[in-house]
Structure 1
Amino acid sequence: MAELGSALRELVDAAVRTEVPAADLAAAAATARELAAALRVGGRGLLDVAAVDDPVAGERWYSPVYGPGSPVAPPLLVDSEGGGRVTARVTVPKALEGPPGLAHGGTIATVLDHVLARALRSAGRGGLTATLTVTYRRPVRLGVEHVLHAEVAATEGRRSTARARITTAEDPDTVLAEGEGLFVALRPEAAAATFAGVDHAPEAWTARP
């Protein structure tokens, strides 16, 4: 799955950069549809969790943020420091471009949201994003390795607040963007309704007993 994900990311990168003639584009599209048809033979339903996934442990192979099997993930590499702190590294590809040469603002918000949630997980907390505030200070450039730091700031009942920042690996003192998120752990009955039809337990997003 990781090998396929890597190959598909190469394909996506090639597709968003190509300037080949229209005839070559048509041939590539036909080949891509043939490959899609072959993969759908063993497909799963929209609510089915992949056999290799473990949502409670944070293993999501097709996550659009970090999944090694995902064709659209940057991917983001996260290292948990424990105690509510994580560090992550990411290099934004051409496929996630906003203004020319720069990461899309939504991509920046997405990776910030993810590391904030992972900081909660490292503290033994769960929850869904209730609010996310992003402050964009400087451009996040394509093809440059960036580092994200996130930590839990406060917890009260089912609510947790976490903060994160993005810098470049070469200049860790210059903050490019910051995020602050409020996460709320679901009550068991709310979790059951939210994840109705999903074939894995939703403990990762619920309040701890």
Structure 2
Amino acid sequence: MRNGVRASVLTLAWPRDMNTNGMDAHLPPSLSPEDGWVELDMAGPRNTQGSYVSGEPDGQRLRVRYYRRPADGALVGKVWFGPGALGPPGHAHGGSMAAVLDEAMGLAAWVAGHRVVAARLEMDFKNMMPLGTVATMEVTIVRVEGRKVHMAGALRSVDGTVFAQSRGLFIQLSAQRVEQLRDIWKGSRSG
């Protein structure tokens, strides 16, 4: 007891294999495209190297590959949720799913020619995602109203189970701000 206040510490522990579902974190997942998907050109400022979400292609948190689906113009991709994405025991953290959909929605807008940043994200978590899952993402532009770009996205299992759905409002940047960001990007590439 200190200053009349009883202090206590609660320690939560569970077996190590409960955190990772016994998965071997060193096995590289297959992030190959589905039929009809085309590799996304990630040259220039769209390059996600260094990105919190997709910047570590061999990392233990997330591994992401983006594609285009020419049939409907959607940005699609595959994401592996590794042991570094741990939330509830054996499952991916909801924040990791939100971060993936945030990046994907923003990227889809940029690929379509809208230079945007996120203003609002809404997430609906439908099912817990086991660690080690390779999820399929799909993101589309819902509508454009002036500078506002409304987006929608989802993460699904191979059998179609929805893990999370998102909606986002993204705001188009001024040409001056886009140039400032390009200069920052170029400076980070030369250092």
- SS of the residue aligned with 1:66? coil
Partners of 2:74 and 2:110 in 1: how far apart?
Answer: 9
Partners of 2:93 and 2:107 in 1: how far apart?
Answer: 22
Partners of 1:144 and 1:196 in 2: how far apart?
Answer: 34
Tell me if 1:62 matches 2:53. Answer: no
Partners of 1:139 and 1:81 in 2: how far apart?
Answer: 27
Q: Assess if the C-alpha contact under 8 Å between 1:84 and 1:121 holds in 2.
A: no
What's 1:77 paired with? 65
Corresponding residue to 1:140 among 129, 134, 137: 129
Q: Assess if the C-alpha contact under 8 Å between 1:129 and 1:181 holds in 2.
A: yes
- Measured after TM superposition, the shift of residue 185 of structure 1 is 1.1
Length, aligned pairs only: 147
Partners of 1:94 and 1:73 in 2: how far apart?
Answer: 6
Q: State the superposition RMSD in angstroms.
A: 2.7
Partners of 1:140 and 1:108 in 2: how far apart?
Answer: 9
What's 1:179 paired with? 166
What's 1:200 paired with? 186
Partners of 2:122 and 2:90 in 1: how far apart?
Answer: 24
Tell me if 1:109 matches 2:98. Answer: yes
- Measured after TM superposition, the shift of residue 144 of structure 1 is 1.5
The 5 Å alignment of 1:15-30 reads none
Instruction: Using structure 2 for the length normalisation, give the TM-score.
Output: 0.67
Which stretches in structure 2 are left out of the alignment for 5+ residues? 1-18, 21-41
Partners of 1:168 and 1:76 in 2: how far apart?
Answer: 15
Partners of 2:182 and 2:110 in 1: how far apart?
Answer: 22
- SS of the residue aligned with 2:139? strand
Instruction: Rate the CA distance shift 1:198–1:73 in 2: closer, same or farther, 3 A.
Output: farther
Q: Assess if the C-alpha contact under 8 Å between 2:105 and 2:139 holds in 1.
A: yes
Give the aligned residue type for 2:184. Answer: V
- Measured after TM superposition, the shift of residue 64 of structure 1 is 2.3
Give the aligned residue type for 1:124. Answer: G
Tell me if 1:149 matches 2:158. Answer: no
- SS of the residue aligned with 2:149? strand
Q: Per-residue CA shift, 1:101-142, capped at 9, x if unaligned?
A: 111111010001111112212322220001010111110110
Partners of 2:125 and 2:101 in 1: how far apart?
Answer: 11
Give the aligned residue type for 1:63. Answer: S
- Measured after TM superposition, the shift of residue 164 of structure 1 is 0.4
- Identity %, equivalent residues: 24
- SS of the residue aligned with 1:200? helix
Give the aligned residue type for 1:178. Answer: Q
Q: Assess if the C-alpha contact under 8 Å between 2:87 and 2:94 holds in 1.
A: yes
- Measured after TM superposition, the shift of residue 198 of structure 1 is 1.8
What's 2:110 paired with? 121
- Measured after TM superposition, the shift of residue 180 of structure 1 is 0.6
